[in-house]
Chains A and B, each alone.
Chain A
Amino acid sequence: MPLITAQGLSKTYRTGDIEVQALRGVDFTIEPGAFAAFVGPSGSGKSTVLNLIGCLDKPSAGRLTVLGTDVAALDRAAAAAFRGTHLGFIFQDFNLIPVLTACENIEYPLLMVQDWPEARRRARVTELLEAVGMGPQARKRPDQLSGGQKQRVAVARALATHAQLVIADEPTANLDHATAQRIIALMKRMRDEYGTAFLFSTHDPRIMAAAEAIYALEDGRLVAPTPSVALAHA
């Protein structure tokens, strides 16, 4: 079963009297364990696609199935529950909770979203801290961490609940070159170790180079449907 199936996916925003068509009948399929990127200029619709896949928004038309669920049919609470159970998120600005330490940030979805028992929670947090190389910084708060360290914690948080899909919106935009490379490598390693699919929205050629599939968008249309790794490296 495909991880994501989009058929005739459209999204129209209305700002006052102006109607903006962010997506115009897009079709694509993404398989489990993918490491794929949506690319395109600003306003091309790549963030809109990720918001729809991430159940943060609803399509205006078309059909979108994520993990076999018609996500357009989910109400607010059900969408939150779906995100908490199946999806992970990585943000451009890291978006860690400032009052929590690194390990507490990773623990947050297990504690506040999924109600895991303490022993299982601790074991999972320890495992992920080691996996992303943040063990020594476990007790530090976000303001005591570098950008790269914050994004490592964010990756661990996104994976904490055994998410099958991690949605990463420009995850390297605020990182220097070397750190960005390390984060990309980390995410790919996490995909390899845990089998979690990673879906990016990006301008970053390093991510495009690492992506195994690239979906290029322009004016809300897919201009390079189901491209290959070769295209990404071209």
Chain B
Amino acid sequence: MLRLVRLAARNLARYWRRTLLTSGLMVLGLVAVLLFVSVSGSFQRLIVGQITDAMLGHLQVHARGYVASIDNLPLNLNMKPDTVAAVERALGETPGVAAWSPRLKFGAMFSNYTETTSIRLNGVLPAREAATVPLLPGRLLERGSAPALLEPGGILVPEILARGMGLAVGDPVVLVATNLDGSVNGKTFTVAGVLGDVTGPGGRDGYVHLDDARALLRLEQPEVSEIAVRLSDPDALAATRARLVRALAGHGAPLEVHTWEGLSPFANIARMIDVLDVFIRVLLVGIVLIAVMNVMIMAVYERIREIGTIAAIGTRPRRILGLFVYEGLLLGLIGAAVGTVVSLILVWLLNLYPVHFTFGRDQALVLAPTLAPVDVLAIAGIVVLVAAAASLQPAWKAARMDPIEALRRV
């Protein structure tokens, strides 16, 4: 084998300009794919991180039908205490669950005594909410001096509302909410902080303490609307969801477990990026296939007499086939090796000189492209394999060549 590889390498060196051009084309294709994969992967991770860690969590558990009616924030579809306890038991027993936070979601009228508007609110336990969506404290554009994220009697107001109504931290406001029985209740709160918006559902909601929410809604028992769940490994989303669904199956109340992908429209953008990723890989396969096949067809055409000679002196067809396949394989290896090195350097440079961008109202997001070894190996492997495959047809033609016809070629 080594002797064939050596001879193949010499033949590539003989036509070094052509080898350089073909390898260059493969390097270009591979760099384009690896850069796209690293940058799009970084973009996806960043945005998904923003969505899951600042508001949604990775999973959410609701009573059946709640999400379908979530625009109305229906109080009658809240989970009852025994259901909540069962869900919490299941969460505690499910591997991969890092934290969870019960939320009581409701709509209310929001007044600063001169103006009134509507607001969507989450009643939360601040410490558990911060453990489940750890970027929430980072969304605070303004906050009071209290060390806790939110204390009873306080409200975190979305930025758009605070700006529109001229509110600052410490200002008093009134929330008026309709209870489940149709009666109305009001309660005074103090602005404890102003929250920056995040892209996606619930990104412009306000927050109050769970106890305050229950008091405002005059709930007789500690109900919750949803339980947001944080996973220790976000990549194990589907598996963890399946485990949780199985764990909840024994419980009597009908429940739904949604992933962030089912709740956020960004999941479609993420899927689109994945499709683009596949397309660009197919493009790479096309580039390598055409480039290598073209160069190997030329190589066979130009060396017909040489093929005739080695066939005449007894080289077996299998070895002639091997000689040309190794030439294609070596071309692929050169392209893959150089392309990988260039890509790694470019990714390193992109981390050294980071690219900033905005997504929706999220400002100054920083791309931090990385390349997973599995992606590098898979894409470089595609190049090498396709290069070898592309040389098969010309190699087969060379191996099957009639020595007499080949030797006659001028």
Chain A nearest Cβ from B283, distance in angstroms: 34
A56-B403, A80-B317 as given contacts; A112 in contact with B310, CB under 8 Å: yes
The answer to the question of B178 belonging to the interface, with a C-beta cut-off of 8 Å to chain A, is no
Closest chain A residue to B403 by CB distance? A56
Partner of B313, one of A57, A76, A100, A109: A109
Among B7, B13, B309, B313, max chain A CB count under 10 A is at B313
Rounded to whole angstroms, the CA-CA distance of A88 and B314 in the bound complex is: 9
Rounded to whole angstroms, the CA-CA distance of A91 and B311 in the bound complex is: 13
B315→A113 contact, CB < 8 A: yes
Instruction: Point out the residues of chain A lying under 8 angstroms from B319, CB to CB.
Output: 112
In chain B between 316 and 374, which residues have their CB closer than 8 angstroms to a CB of chain A?
A: 316-319
B312→A89 contact, CB < 8 A: yes
A56→B404 contact, CB < 8 A: yes
The answer to the question of A126 belonging to the interface, with a C-beta cut-off of 8 Å to chain B, is no
B315→A98 contact, CB < 8 A: no
Chain A nearest Cβ from B1, distance in angstroms: 12
Chain A nearest Cβ from B326, distance in angstroms: 13
Instruction: Point out the residues of chain A lying under 8 angstroms from B4, CB to CB.
Output: 112
How many residues from B make CB contacts under 8 Å with A?
24
B10→A85 contact, CB < 8 A: no
A95-B305, A98-B14 as given contacts; A109 in contact with B407, CB under 8 Å: no
Closest chain B residue to A92 by CB distance? B407
The answer to the question of B393 belonging to the interface, with a C-beta cut-off of 8 Å to chain A, is no
Binary interface encoding of chain A residues 66-99 relative to chain B, with 1 for a CB under 8 A from any of its CBs, else 0: 0000000000110011111101110101010111
A77→B316 contact, CB < 8 A: yes
Partner of B317, one of A77, A93, A109, A114: A77
Instruction: Point out the residues of chain B lying under 8 angstroms from A114, CB to CB.
Output: 314
The answer to the question of A40 belonging to the interface, with a C-beta cut-off of 8 Å to chain B, is no
Closest chain B residue to A47 by CB distance? B404
Instruction: Point out the residues of chain B lying under 8 angstroms from A89, CB to CB.
Output: 309, 312-313
Instruction: Point out the residues of chain B lying under 8 angstroms from A81, CB to CB.
Output: 314, 316
Binary interface encoding of chain A residues 25-51 relative to chain B, with 1 for a CB under 8 A from any of its CBs, else 0: 000000000000000000000000001
Instruction: Point out the residues of chain A lying under 8 angstroms from B310, CB to CB.
Output: 97, 108, 112
Give the interface of A toward B (CB within 8 A).
Answer: 51, 54, 56-57, 76-77, 80-85, 87-89, 91, 93, 95, 97-100, 108-109, 111-114, 157-158, 161
Known: A76-B317, A111-B3. 20 other contacts (CB 8 A): A56-B312, A80-B314, A80-B316, A83-B312, A84-B313, A84-B314, A87-B314, A89-B309, A91-B407, A95-B305, A97-B309, A98-B306, A99-B14, A100-B7, A108-B310, A109-B314, A112-B319, A113-B313, A113-B314, A157-B313
29 sampled A-B residue pairs with Cβ under 8 A: A51-B404, A54-B312, A56-B403, A76-B317, A81-B316, A82-B314, A84-B315, A84-B316, A89-B312, A89-B313, A91-B309, A91-B407, A93-B305, A95-B306, A95-B407, A97-B306, A98-B306, A99-B13, A108-B310, A108-B313, A109-B313, A112-B4, A112-B319, A113-B313, A113-B314, A113-B315, A113-B316, A157-B313, A161-B314
Give the interface of B toward A (CB within 8 A).
Answer: 3-4, 7, 10-11, 13-14, 305-306, 308-319, 403-404, 407
Give the top 6 A-B pairs by smallest Cβ distance, nearest first. A84-B314, A99-B10, A95-B309, A83-B314, A113-B314, A80-B316
